Amino acid sequence: MNPTNKPRALKRSAQRTLQGTSQSTLVNTIACGFLTAGLVLYGPVYAQVPEATDEAKQRNVRDVKAESRQRVESFQLKESYQRTEDSKQAEEINLKASSAQQISDAAKQQNATQARSTATRQQVREQQPTSELGSAQQNTAKERDIATGEAQIKGSSAQDKENAAQAAENKAQAAESAADATVQQQATATQPSKRPLAPPRIPPSPITANLTTSAVPPLPVKAVIPSVTNANQNSNFEPNELVLVSADMAAAKQAASYLNRYGAQIKTRSALANLGLVMSVFRLPEGEDTLAIIRQIQTDLPSLQTDTNQRYQLQNSRKTYGASMVGWPQAPSCITQNALHVGVIDTPVNTAHPALLGANIQAKSFIKGEPASATHGTAVASILVGRVQAGFSGLLPQAQLTAAAVFRQRGEQVEATTDSLLLALDWLVQQQVSVINLSLGGERNRVLAQAIEQVLAKRIAIVAAAGNNGPQAEPVYPAAQAGVIAVTAVDAAGRLYDQANHGSYIEFAAPGVDIWAADNAQGGHYHTGTSFAAPYLTAALAVANIQQLQNQAQDKGPAGKDPQYGHGLLTMPPLCQ
């Protein structure tokens, strides 16, 4: 081959090599340019050495071909890299487009879901009771926040976002209008009454030990439910029941959320406005040890005022010497008896009994179940306000007596429960009595103790029977509670009743053995027990103060205050001096 034709052959060879590629026209042109430049550079070499040997010529040809192949391979590598980059960019573009579509679809689906949710909330709000009216406007504000949040959903374009925001705002306005309409409709349907509508819900306030301080400690991770024992057979409390008192309704609801951890379910809840308390009665799990569960709750949550729903018994066992024995004045002119107001918590009172006909008595029942016989309550009432004309020497026949009935008949047992006592106390405070007679007793109960503290704080005296369980018996409550005035019983000779409780909590002794008082029929009976000594001290505190009575008491037993007679036998001080 003529050396001058070799560059052309090499050029054609390079062009055939590049024909199989998919490079762009620009890349092919550049590659061919470089190849041509090489041939031009090397072409003169062949022209200037025509006399070179065949071997040298072949070597030169091989070198040129090798260098040309290297340059072509380099361009092919660059072309492949560029193709890969282009492919990646295309994939990213496709991925972004797909993501944008998915986001758009998700936004549409979420808008639909939120619309259904808004409709459901609207239906629920329309079914809310009147007590929830206060929270309707708060719910509207929340729905507006939710609707505004919906507008932040990412769309595939600025137009999608704008459309979503507009749709959300429309839903918020519709929800607000519907809420306003619901509130207006319920307010119109509600008939005016003396009781105001319930206020808006507020966050629960801290539950405290004294109902004002010391926040409740955190709950254990898992509440421990004690194993079953035969403790529920104890007849001194309502089985499977727990009583709680709280400072307000918010605290009561917060406490309920804690007690649910122990399986306690709310049974009843009462606002004792006059005591400044809220009482809640809970049902505990069936078959569990009531005492053990309550003790566990008191250990885990000592700041909660919880206890059993205690049962209390009448303090009676079965002459007109009583009034004369204590030196009771006969209708002193300096006392306007019709201005006196005494409260009693007992069995029902038979106001139709001849001893009570014409007496100023207001009665109300807080009994759960079958009412007990009216014998005990009628007897106590006759000692306080009985008519002398009917043969019963009432100590304050012209005074107003407000009687709360709490005792029920359960088989052979006559008993009252903690919750009924709290309801009765709250009512008596509302009636503005000056002294309350409690001819009853039982075990100590933290809930009842809290309620009694609230009563005493209002400067209302509480008199309680000391108990008829014998000299070695445990103290009886509420007589043994600080602030309560406990009274024991003596007979006509001043001898201590042999079944009376002894203890440092005894304050006074009063007639309580063979006391003539009304029964539940038309006549009367002789009654014995510390229950019937209590009304004497109650009447005395209605017309005199505790300091006067302590100073005037007739010392009995060991000198000074003692566990049998307290300060001594009740003796009335001169009232008109």
Point out the residues that are catalytic: 346, 376, 531
Question: CB of 247 within 8 A of CB of 271?
Answer: no
Answer yes or no: are the C-beta atoms of 392 and 386 closer than 8 Å: yes
SS (H, E, C) 335-377: CCHHHCEEEEEECCCCCCCCCCCCCEEEEEECCCCCECCCHHH
What are the C-alpha distances in Å from 518 to residues 26, 247, 320, 389, 463? Answer: 126, 41, 12, 13, 21
Cβ pair 399, 360 in contact under 8 A: yes
User: DSSP letter at 477?
Assistant: B
DSSP code for 269: E
Q: State the Cα–Cα distance between residues 49 and 193, nearest whole angstrom.
A: 126
Task: Yes or no: say if 361 and 373 are a contact pair by the CB < 8 Å rule.
Answer: no
Q: CA–CA distance from 211 to each of 266, 346, 457, 467 (Å)?
A: 20, 28, 14, 30
Residue from 352, 337, 242 nearest 288 by CA: 242
- Match 């002119």 to its residue by tokens: 333
Q: How far apart are CA 309 and CA 282, in angstroms?
A: 9
Spatial neighbors of 59 by CB under 8 A, at least 6 apart, are none
C-alpha–C-alpha distance, residues 92 and 98, integer Å: 10
Tell me the one-letter amino acid at 187: A
CA distance 129 to 321: 60
The tokens for 205 are 């306030």
C-alpha 516/C-alpha 522 separation (Å) is 14
Residue 233's alpha-carbon distances to 276, 311, 413, 442, in angstroms, are 34, 13, 14, 16
Gap between the Cα atoms of 51 and 65, Å rounded: 21
Element (H or E) spanning 18, and its range?
helix 6-19
Q: How far apart are CA 70 and CA 63, in angstroms?
A: 11
Structure tokens at 172: 């918020």
- The torsion region of residue 391 among left (phi > 0), alpha (psi -120 to 50) and beta comes to left
Q: Return the residue matching tokens 């002193």.
A: 332
Of 448, 456, 407, the residue nearest 429 (C-alpha): 456
Q: Which residues pair with 283 in a beta bridge?
A: 241, 265
